[in-house]
Amino acid sequence: MTLAGFHRAALAVLGLLVVTGCQPVQNFNGTVVDPPRELALKGTNWDGEPFDLSSQQGKVSVVFFGYTFCPDICPFALADMKTIYRELGDQAEDVSIVFVSVDPHRDSLEKLSRYVPNFDRRFYGLRLEFGELETVQEDFEVTVQYSQPKDGPGSDSFYYVDHTGTFFVFGRDGKLRLTYPPKTKAETMLPDIRALLS
Residue spans of the domains in the chain: they are 27-197
Question: Which tens digits make up the pLDDT trace of 61-101?
Answer: 999 999 999 988 999 999 999 999 999 999 999 999 999 99
Residue type, 148: Q
Q: How far apart are the first and last CA of the chain?
A: 46
Q: Which of helix, strand or coil describes residue 103? A: coil
Rounded to whole angstroms, what are the CA distances from 89 to 35, 47, 56, 93, 172?
30, 24, 19, 8, 18
pTM of the model: 0.84
User: Percent of the chain having pLDDT more than 90?
Assistant: 76
Cα separation, 109 vs 157, in Å, equals 20
Question: Which tens digits make up the pLDDT trace of 35-45?
Answer: 999 999 999 99
**CATH class of residue range 27-197:** alpha beta
